[in-house]
Chain A
């Protein structure tokens, strides 16, 4: 009979129940959407912050002590290099998945036909890699120098044979009076080459005075085959905390448990440490300008989203509470009647609660999927990618819906229990 009554309410009063379910669904969808976005916003914003370029640089160990002042050393340097054949290993470290981009650099000093000296840089533009994991990656300056503006010509494309191409910085191009389509004859210390100028770029910095070319080309100019000066790495990192700072100074000072935590967290310092492990004789260091700012911005964004999420959760909770209270109170006549014909308080409350809970389950489920949709809309329209599903959202939303619905029922049920049947039936 209990169930029959519940089915009776659910199906015969479906309009009212639908309204409650609808409100619960709205609340649940809001909660789902906001929680999903909140939990994923860190990764998304992190990805966006990659436009600031590399947050880790890798240089040869010897060089890190005496590295470039003003980046004009050019000739010979100290003779320490990293090995080009080890580059692939960066994508094999523990946090390989967080390495989203990287590019090697080799500096060569060249002389132009008119005798002027210029610095040439060999690098990857859009280097295509097929990783042992089956993953594919296009890495290079095209994505790591997103602020470059190609003011003439286009980006050099390695895929369609750009070995003899070069991109020239705006300042140098103006000085030499060259534009895209021209050729440039370069004399290196070992060989000389004629390159096609594919594009002229405006970097708004010292790179405007340089010539960029594919890495093999630059290496052949100075006879430095297989050697690279530095690697810039763009990695998704977790904002630093005390542990990370302590570890960055000396990983050996950590206890085993701390070490595990540190090693298995995507701190810039642990990623650096892991890169040093795979690249022979290298020193990897976070670029403070980028790494610190990223940390600050990420933290603020996450906090902001958390607070907005809390606000919307409170809003959703009060909305649900309100409607549940209102709709239960509306049924005072019916409940008065039930009490008049002998229903115990407990059975009346049981009935009301079960009805509302059944409605809440349907509404909550529908709302969950709707909210999931909202989150995806937000993800796609703002970041152009899907919002990852965190399993933790499901229990959170479920608990929230149940608690809020129960809380909404309590004042209404208390009021119903105080009702005396005759009062209700005589319509006062």
Chain B
């Protein structure tokens, strides 16, 4: 048996046989470590998770054609410049003037599934159109025409025909459609009628044309700007612009939120570390007599410090490991409860948390041990 083995044997004996005290200390280190890893995970993940919430505000980038109109191919090309994981939704819109009850109305042809993603704030009474001949009617139009869900309307479209002779009557294209939903937004969308793109193409007889595309991308505003510049420069026919109102505000609010979580994390961590330190101090202080004994039978101060530090470090390592697991579970629970999505696991956090726990327990043991080793062994042994 060499010295190192004996060293380890003593430390493990202390940890195992002084079970109740050590559990107390271990618990406090583990909680500290759990708070550290949990809060840091949340802190790092908040912008991503909150960013997703901010996508509620709808599109933050729009593609407009540089010359009148573009096609879905142009949009696909533009889209390819953006990291596909960051794209929440891409919704093409095509606006045409149609007539309902002989009154001119602006119709928007779109992809309903994508519209749900890029405009999550739309409040639809009834349901989104999902099949042929179904339309979504803006609330103020619905009021104006006294139309409700389930009502049938005839939509008229007058085709533009450049070759048409003066005075010649052109027959309207017509399509009977059913109102399946009433759209409420409190904004200009309430004056539109939304028609699935295929139906609008059928009605107008013209396909493949798109007026504008809305994109919802979960990225920070500077990255969005980068994307927009790249797309405008590289994709002919597409001009990408940021919806400043959304992007600017999002970065302001997100920055504040992250600062809030950071500050809270720092305060909680500082207080937790002090708590761990006081617990460790208490644990070491009650062993002054043992320190005196070790000195009496010939331990040098350095030796005693090494042993107790060894114990502290082991405690820190075990507590840190338990804490990492607990912290991850906590962060995961928070993420699932708050954002209904799982948290991204950060492997780097494991060594960091364990190192910090070891450092905190080590330092908080060091001070009381140093003062304990200054004590005269004779006084400690007699002092009862």
Chain A residues close to B by CB (< 8 Å): 19, 22-23, 26-27, 29-30, 33-34, 37, 41, 45, 48-49, 51-53, 56-57, 64-71, 145-149, 202-205, 285-293, 296-297, 300-301, 303-305, 307-308, 311-312, 314-316, 318-319, 322-323, 325-327, 330, 333, 374, 377-378, 381-383, 427
CB-based contact A52/B191 at 8 Å = no
Considering the complex, give the chain B residue whose CB is closest to the CB of A293. Answer: B56
**Residue-wise interface mask of B (109-139) relative to A, using a CB-CB cutoff of 8 A (1 in contact, 0 not):** 0000000000111110000000000000000
| Closest 4 pairs between A and B when the two form their complex, measured CB to CB | A204-B244, A319-B275, A293-B56, A147-B248
Given A288-B121, A297-B54, A33 and B267 touching (CB < 8 A)? Answer: yes
Stretch at the interface among B7-15, B165-173, B182-190, B347-355: B182-190
Residues of chain B within 8 A of A145, CB atoms compared: 245
Looking at the assembled complex, report how far the CB atom of A397 sits from the nearest CB atom of chain B, in whole angstroms: 14
Looking at the assembled complex, report how far the CB atom of B270 sits from the nearest CB atom of chain A, in whole angstroms: 9
Residues of chain A within 8 A of B25, CB atoms compared: 322
Given A288-B185, A308-B264, A296 and B56 touching (CB < 8 A)? Answer: yes
14 contacts between A and B (CB under 8 A): A26-B274, A51-B248, A64-B140, A147-B245, A204-B247, A204-B248, A205-B244, A288-B186, A303-B338, A315-B35, A322-B28, A330-B282, A330-B286, A381-B259
Residues of chain B within 8 A of A383, CB atoms compared: 256, 260
A322 to B20, CA, bound (A): 11
CB-based contact B253/A23 at 8 Å = no
CB-based contact A53/B245 at 8 Å = yes
Looking at the assembled complex, report how far the CB atom of A366 sits from the nearest CB atom of chain B, in whole angstroms: 13
Residues of chain B within 8 A of A300, CB atoms compared: 50, 53, 338-339
Given A146-B249, A204-B244, A307 and B337 touching (CB < 8 A)? Answer: yes
Looking at the assembled complex, report how far the CB atom of A93 sits from the nearest CB atom of chain B, in whole angstroms: 19
A318 to B39, CA, bound (A): 17
Considering the complex, give the chain B residue whose CB is closest to the CB of A56. Answer: B186
Of residues 136 through 167 on chain B, the ones whose CB sits less than 8 Å from some CB of chain A are: 140, 143-144
**Residue-wise interface mask of B (30-71) relative to A, using a CB-CB cutoff of 8 A (1 in contact, 0 not):** 011011001100100010001001101110000000000000
CB-based contact B50/A23 at 8 Å = no
**Residue-wise interface mask of B (180-216) relative to A, using a CB-CB cutoff of 8 A (1 in contact, 0 not):** 0000111110011000000000000000000000000
Considering the complex, give the chain B residue whose CB is closest to the CB of A63. Answer: B140
CB-based contact B259/A48 at 8 Å = no
Residues of chain B within 8 A of A319, CB atoms compared: 28, 31, 272, 275-276, 278-279
CB-based contact A322/B27 at 8 Å = yes
Of residues 250 through 293 on chain B, the ones whose CB sits less than 8 Å from some CB of chain A are: 252-253, 256-257, 259-261, 263-264, 267-268, 271-272, 274-276, 278-279, 281-283, 285-286
Considering the complex, give the chain A residue whose CB is closest to the CB of B327. Answer: A311
Majority secondary structure of chain A interface residues (helix, strand, loop or mixed): helix
The one of B188, B264, B271, B338 in contact with A68, judged by C-beta atoms closer than 8 angstroms, is B188
Looking at the assembled complex, report how far the CB atom of A66 sits from the nearest CB atom of chain B, in whole angstroms: 7
A24 to B35, CA, bound (A): 18
Given A204-B242, A315-B31, A292 and B248 touching (CB < 8 A)? Answer: no
A-B contact count (CB 8 A): 217
Residues of chain B within 8 A of A311, CB atoms compared: 35, 38-39, 268, 330
Interface centre among A19, A41, A382 (most CB of B within 10 A): A382
Looking at the assembled complex, report how far the CB atom of A198 sits from the nearest CB atom of chain B, in whole angstroms: 20
Considering the complex, give the chain B residue whose CB is closest to the CB of A374. Answer: B267
Residues of chain A within 8 A of B279, CB atoms compared: 319, 322-323, 326
Looking at the assembled complex, report how far the CB atom of B62 sits from the nearest CB atom of chain A, in whole angstroms: 9
Task: Beyond the given A70-B106, A146-B249, please list 11 additional residue pairs across the A-B interface where CB-CB is below 8 A.
Answer: A19-B278, A26-B271, A27-B271, A51-B248, A204-B244, A204-B245, A292-B121, A303-B338, A305-B264, A315-B35, A378-B260
CB-based contact A30/B244 at 8 Å = no
The one of B24, B57, B143, B245 in contact with A205, judged by C-beta atoms closer than 8 angstroms, is B245
The one of B24, B56, B245, B333 in contact with A292, judged by C-beta atoms closer than 8 angstroms, is B56
Residues of chain A within 8 A of B46, CB atoms compared: 304
Looking at the assembled complex, report how far the CB atom of B255 sits from the nearest CB atom of chain A, in whole angstroms: 9
A67 to B143, CA, bound (A): 12
